[in-house]
Amino acid sequence: MTRIFVSYAREDKDRVAKIVAFAGAIVDEVWWDDRLVAGESFTEETERRLNEADFVVVVWTPNSVRSKWVLDEAAVGRDAGKLVPLSFDGQAPPLGFRHVHCTDFSGWRGGGDERCALALKEALTRGAKARVEPAPVASAPRAGLSQRRLLWRLAFAVLGVFAIALVGGLMVGALSILKGRDANAPSIAEVTADLIAGRTPDDPYAAAAKRAVEAIGGSDRAEDRAALSSFAAGDETGALDILERLAGDLERAGDKNAAAEAYTRVGAIALLVDQGRGLAARRKALELSPESLPAFQGLFFDIFLMRGYEAAAAFAEEAIARRDASDRFKGYAYAHLAIIAMDAMRDEALAEERIARVRALFERTKDPILEAAALYAAATVDWRRDRLAEAEREADAADAVTKDGERAFPAEVVRSRIKFSQGDWEGAFAIGLSSLEARRRAGGFLPTPLLQIACRSGLFLGEVENAAPYCAAQEGRSDQSGGAGFRIVSGELALARGDVAKARSELSASRALAGENAGTGSAGEAAILFAEQLRLEAAIAAAAGDLDGAQSLIWRHIDAVAGEPNARSLRAGALRLYGLWAMKRGAPERACAPLQESAELYAAVGGAAGAAAARAARAKAGCK
């Protein structure tokens, strides 16, 4: 028996009634209560029905996103892994609910053969046949962190440091099920990576579709060819279906390690499509291969992004306490805990305590993976604290003790962050571009921090068109404020191309989105978003020739980041930008003092390249 609970705003009753009638023909029981209004407490009956439901269908509209009642009900569905979101009027889900694909019913005429209706039917019938229950991890409430799959600064940065490169090619066992396949054709793994890369301008979907058909042209399963080709046209779910079938075949054949790798890949691709599905796949991968570091990493960050710091920490501690957990696994988990302690909680003491545990395990095992994990975690803590020279030494040491294939964390992500904070925009840009290209060729996922650094450092350097694809590729990787963060990136790109009007429009859109989602993220992340908006506004003012306004805004930006652990490098970068703007607008005398302070700040935090660049700019401006 399949039961659904429908959550909606009372003002939308008439439209929702049609969905209720349609759903009633699909499932055994539909429960909705049009007598409740926003703000009322849960009744016993409502809570019982909500908890017993197999699915919680929430209808997002301009009315329901403001309803505390609907938000409460949707949260129950989300946390239980049974949320099915729909929308009217093109309404985006509110913050905390955007990791699950939302079906738009705005143009629905009531027919069962329309695309949106078929999507709802598929979600309910497929889910009823194969429900995957959520993991038994703690879901304690947390202060401030948004339950969104990809946060603009915090979560993007954290995810990037640990974002797995998609497993490099499925095992031979996976390929053996593709009968008659040309041995020289690209693997399914390579094709899937190409299809993801097809989201960027340099690798269009049409070319990816061609490679998809070539790759599995010999398969005796027509649905595989159709699904891959449809993914090339924008249907990411098709690729997930294929890989899940491959994983299932491997699992039934008894090849647990290969199956775990396939499920891990499903989880990584699902970052772009359906976080809930990714969570289930990653959980399956870890179940099949409890010592798999990529499987642990993926699941850890899914839980962190969906449920917050406390839940992720509880999951990691539970994994560490597993009776048969190896020292390598325990140390790897502690390194992850160290990173989020610093990035999410700004708790350096806790981060250092966890790094000490990793080091103790290394001393016992002499495992280079653990030595590198401790060093990379320490480098990230030192980067966050503006101890940049020390962070660079730790990254160098980590590289020295492990081979490329053994690294616990992607070194290039750590290095690009350090370079950018040091003011070495050229170095950060070079690392970002080379690493992203290498990952694309190898079939790897493109970590958001690398995209972010390649985009921003390229724009700062004037490498606009080289940076543009990496700016654009961030679209769809949702942030904690409803897309407000990406709007800043889009505005910066528009301004670099000379389109001041579009930059202003994107800034306004960013602020509107941030306002709509106010109060859902942490105060610290809200402050960072506010600071980035101010920096864009300052750049717009400078581009319009208003250097007084730009100066005032850049100081407001600096004030907004003053409480961050890496406030000095952020201030150095902001002052350098203002100096460059002043020079570009023909007022070099206004650049001298900001560039001088920028050089001093860079030197103080170990940013020799940034200090040299600021001094060179002063010399060019004719400063004494």
Q: Report pLDDT digits (tens) over 224-237.
A: 444 454 444 455 66
Confidence of residue 361 (pLDDT cuts 50, 70, 90): very high
- Which of 13-17, 49-53, 123-127, 443-447 is least confident? 443-447
Q: Report pLDDT digits (tens) over 264-305.
A: 767 766 655 666 777 788 788 888 888 888 778 777 876 776
pLDDT of residue 305: 60
Average pLDDT in the 9-33 region? 87
Same domain membership, residue 37 and residue 164: no
Res 546 pLDDT > 50: yes
Same domain membership, residue 288 and residue 404: yes
The CATH number covering residue 270 comes to 1.25.40
Instruction: With residue 31 as reference, give the H or E element that holds it.
Output: strand 29-31
The residue ranking higher by pLDDT, 72 or 549, is 549
The residue ranking higher by pLDDT, 284 or 481, is 284
Q: How many Å apart are CA 99 and CA 409, to the nearest integer?
A: 25
pLDDT of residue 27: 86
**Would you give the DSSP letter of residue 41?**
P
Confidence of residue 439 (pLDDT cuts 50, 70, 90): low
Range(s) of the domain holding residue 15: 3-129
pLDDT of residue 265: 67
Average pLDDT in the 257-263 region? 77
Average pLDDT in the 36-47 region? 57
Shortest CA distance to 427 belongs to which of 398, 463, 454, 388? 454
Q: Report pLDDT digits (tens) over 482-520.
A: 578 888 999 999 999 999 999 999 999 988 888 876 655
pLDDT of residue 189: 39
Q: Report pLDDT digits (tens) over 96-149.
A: 676 667 788 887 888 887 777 877 887 787 554 434 333 333 333 333 323 322
CA angle 394, 396, 398 (to 5 degrees): 70
Measure Cα distances from 31 to 2, 45, 51, 63, 68 in Å.
11, 11, 12, 20, 19
Q: State percent of the chain over pLDDT 70.
A: 71
pLDDT of residue 175: 27
For the chain, what is the domain count?
3
Res 321 pLDDT > 80: yes
pLDDT of residue 270: 66
Bridge partners for 3 per DSSP? 29
Same domain membership, residue 170 and residue 114: no
Tokens 């290394």 belong to residue: 362
- Which of 117-126, 167-176, 349-358, 448-457 is least confident? 167-176
Q: How many Å apart are CA 326 and CA 296, to the nearest integer?
A: 13
Res 443 pLDDT > 60: no
Measure Cα distances from 564 to 2, 63, 430, 506, 531 in Å.
49, 36, 27, 26, 11
Residue 30 lies in a domain: yes
Instruction: With residue 302 as reference, give the H or E element that holds it.
Output: helix 293-307
Same domain membership, residue 181 and residue 120: no
Residue 482 lies in a domain: no
Same domain membership, residue 123 and residue 220: no
CA angle 501, 506, 508 (to 5 degrees): 95
Which ranges of 177-255 would DSSP assign to H, the alpha helix? 188-197, 205-215, 222-232, 236-252
Same domain membership, residue 49 and residue 184: no
pLDDT of residue 435: 81
Res 173 pLDDT > 50: no
**Which of 411, 442, 473 delimits the end of a domain?**
442
Q: How many Å apart are CA 595 and CA 601, to the nearest integer?
A: 10
Same domain membership, residue 160 and residue 280: yes
Reduce the DSSP state of residue 58 to 3 states and report it: strand
The CATH number covering residue 116 comes to 3.40.50.10140
Residue 237 lies in a domain: yes
Average pLDDT in the 542-566 region? 93
Q: How many Å apart are CA 317 and CA 296, to the nearest integer?
A: 12
pLDDT of residue 374: 93
Q: What is the mean pLDDT of the chain?
A: 75
Res 608 pLDDT > 80: yes
